[in-house]
């Protein structure tokens, strides 16, 4: 249930609604907008509440039921778009944020070379995996903390914010010491222990869509993070599993439009994992920008032929530089920039 306060309602009127909700055993979350405050009444039985319980309180302008499973990620809770600030980079603003780098950190030389390429081409965030959950236990699993140390060194040398995946709830506090954005991978989208732990932090989060998750399930997972008090959530569409086998996953371009209508959270697209092949990545990246994505997450490797992880879907330095130039007119055509 959403309670919208009148413009300029004093703090005591807002507190009156909060205390009324708490007295009934419900949780609350506030969206302190520029002109007015919106209060989400949270709990399993809000559907049984009479809206008049809150409508009669001083300062209340309207009371609306949200029938969707997700509440805090809903557009009804927050009308204006959320913008996530990461060390001088804004995700969800006019500039399209491009995050790029190797899928897995393999060593200092590789990561430094990738960072140089990424920055010179115009990307604003460096990606690199220190922990790599793999389908096979015999595949390269990442350098773990050694990779985090390399990521921090590279960040300082090139003055680029960094995004990396965290896979274990017990590792969250450690990874936040190194990373500017915590990535929750597709396989962990519904790892509720991990979501709850990250929700307690204020660190920006990149929440990838699960391999077979619906948009509703995806946004409900985002609610776990938001309910913990972390408002810095970025959604990442990376393709879903369908019957089609000509690409690694099926890129759901339509999800961008649906999310822009249904949620206030910014949306980034990962064309690399959806494509599965470097030759398809540019087309999917361009389509994502044209459809309204707020950013891209692209795999770039100094030498994809030698990559330990996902070399086939990684762009070479020259391919990435070319793509960045090709994206600019598309962004400008919809009133944005790269």
Predicted pLDDT of residue 126: 98
Predicted pLDDT of residue 186: 97
**Could you give the strand order of the β-sheet that contains 60-64, starting from the edge strand earlier in sequence?**
27-32, 37-42, 2-5, 60-64
* CATH topology assigned to domain 2-64: Alpha-Beta Plaits (3.30.70)
Predicted pLDDT of residue 138: 73
Predicted pLDDT of residue 142: 83
Predicted pLDDT of residue 139: 77
- Which runs of E-coded beta strand occur in the chain? 2-5, 27-32, 37-42, 60-64, 84-86, 89-91, 97-101, 125-127, 162-165, 181-184, 205-208, 233-237, 267-269, 295-299
3-class DSSP state for residue 313?
helix
What is the residue-level pLDDT of the chain in tens, covering all 338 positions? 999 999 989 999 999 999 999 999 999 999 987 778 999 999 888 777 888 999 999 999 999 988 899 999 999 999 899 999 999 999 999 999 999 999 999 999 999 999 999 999 999 999 999 998 777 787 777 889 999 999 999 999 999 999 999 999 999 999 999 999 999 999 999 999 999 999 999 999 999 999 999 999 999 999 999 999 999 999 999 999 999 999 999 999 999 999 999 999 999 999 999 999 999 999 999 999 999 999 999 999 999 999 999 999 999 999 999 999 999 999 999 999 99
Q: How far is CA 30 from CA 129, 198, 226, in A?
A: 34, 19, 11
Predicted pLDDT of residue 149: 96
Predicted pLDDT of residue 32: 85
Strand partners, 3: 39, 63
pTM: predicted TM-score of the whole model, two decimal places:
0.93
- Is 1.10.1660.10 the CATH classification of the domain at 84-333? no
Predicted pLDDT of residue 99: 98
Q: Domain-by-domain residue ranges, the chain?
A: 2-64, 84-333
């Amino acid at each position: 249930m959403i309670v919208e306060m009148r413009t300029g309602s004093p703090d005591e009127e807002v507190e009156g609604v909060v205390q009324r909700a708490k007295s009934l055993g419900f949780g609350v979350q506030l969206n302190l907008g520029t002109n007015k405050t919106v209060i989400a009444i949270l709990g399993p039985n809000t559907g049984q509440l009479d809206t008049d319980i809150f409508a009669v309180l001083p300062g209340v302008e309207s009371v609306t039921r949200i029938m969707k499973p997700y509440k805090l990620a809903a557009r009804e809770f927050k009308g204006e778009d959320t913008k996530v600030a990461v060390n001088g980079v804004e995700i969800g603003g006019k500039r399209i944020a491009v995050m790029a780098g190797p899928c897995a950190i393999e060593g200092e030389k590789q990561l430094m070379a990738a960072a140089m390429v990424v920055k010179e081409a115009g990307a604003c965030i460096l990606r690199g995996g220190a922990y790599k959950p793999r389908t096979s236990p015999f595949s390269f699993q990442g350098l773990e903390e050694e990779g985090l140390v390399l990521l921090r060194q590279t960040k300082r040398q090139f003055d680029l914010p960094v995004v990396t995946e965290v896979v274990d709830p017990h590792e969250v506090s450690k990874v936040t010491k190194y990373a500017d954005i915590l990535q929750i991978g597709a396989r962990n989208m519904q790892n509720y222990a991990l979501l709850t732990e990250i929700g307690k932090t204020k660190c920006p989060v990149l929440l990838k869509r699960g391999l077979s998750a619906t948009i509703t399930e995806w946004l409900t997972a985002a609610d776990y993070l938001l309910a913990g008090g972390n408002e810095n959530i970025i959604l990442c569409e990376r393709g879903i599993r369908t019957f089609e086998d000509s690409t690694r996953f099926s890129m759901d371009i339509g999800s961008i439009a649906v999310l822009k209508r249904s949620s206030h959270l910014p949306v980034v697209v990962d064309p690399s994992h959806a494509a599965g092949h470097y030759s398809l990545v540019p087309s999917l990246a361009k389509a994502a920008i044209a459809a309204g994505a707020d950013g891209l997450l692209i795999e770039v490797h100094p030498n994809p032929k030698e990559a330990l992880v996902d070399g086939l879907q990684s762009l070479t330095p020259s391919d990435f530089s070319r793509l960045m130039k090709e994206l600019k007119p598309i962004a400008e055509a919809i009133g944005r920039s790269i």
